[in-house]
Amino acid sequence: MLSIICIIAAITLPGLNSKHQEMETVLRLRKAYITLNDAYEQGTSMHGSPLEWELCDVSDDATEEDYEGSKNMYNAFGAYIKKKKDCQGKSGCFAEKYLYINGTEWEDNINTAPHRYKIITNDGMSMAFHAYSHDCSKIQEDSDLRPICGLVFVDINGPNKGKNMMGDDLFAFDLTEDGIFPHGAATDTCLHQHCMVAGLHCTKWVIENENKEYLKCKDLSWSGKTKCNK
């Protein structure tokens, strides 16, 4: 009897643990979303629209001007987030490297990138503020064609926990004139060509569908199947 119980436990416990980890991701990502929106509300009430924050247009190379725009973005609303570590444009707030879900390394070293303003929040999340457009006109096809002012990258469990992988514990949010939105688009093109392939632009899927099923199967759809077959 004991051996049967052990066998059943060996079969069921990994699945339960995986489901628990997935729900923890959903909850922490939602918490990050709420935290950023609350900060945005405080920031705009004190400093006006992002159009008034002296952001900058993103360049191909990291420049001092890029960092100034990101610092202004942080000072205007990120500063309202309680933090335990402030890295500014230096390293120490993110992991040394991040992976795409296909196992290849993300070329952009977010930890050392000097053009983003980086912090670790009181609840252990890493956040990087990246200004993209001084007039909030940057169009990203993978974000519902919504013009953005900048992006906020979030490692939901900080630099020393998790897989440090796009779409698993590293996500992004859009800063716009109208608020903070989960990065990504509700289209199968975005889902199949970006999220499932590399873990890019998955934030919207996780927030709205409350899962990371794109890591398990490839026949999902925004208009149909949102969970893998059991």
The pLDDT tens digits for 175-226 are 999 999 999 988 888 999 999 999 999 999 999 999 999 999 999 999 999 9
Name the more confident of 109 and 3. Answer: 109
What residue spans define the domains of the chain? 18-215
For range 91-98, the mean pLDDT: 97
Q: Is the pLDDT of residue 39 over 80?
A: yes
**pLDDT for the residue numbered 65:** 78
Contact by Cβ (8 Å): 17, 25: no
Contact by Cβ (8 Å): 165, 197: no
- The residue behind tokens 């500014």 is 88
Distance CA 91, CA 113 (A): 8
**pLDDT for the residue numbered 143:** 63
**pLDDT for the residue numbered 3:** 53
| Tens-digit pLDDT profile for residues 148-170 | 999 999 999 999 999 999 999 99
Q: What is the pTM of this model?
A: 0.89
Distances (CA, A) of 73 to 37, 49, 56, 215: 14, 11, 9, 32
**pLDDT for the residue numbered 64:** 75
**pLDDT for the residue numbered 1:** 54
pLDDT band at 60 (very low <50, low <70, confident <90, very high): low
**pLDDT for the residue numbered 12:** 46
What whole-number percentage of the chain has pLDDT above 90? 76
**pLDDT for the residue numbered 8:** 43
Distance CA 227, CA 224 (A): 9
30 sits in which H/E element = helix 2-47
For range 3-23, the mean pLDDT: 57
Q: Is the pLDDT of residue 129 over 60?
A: yes
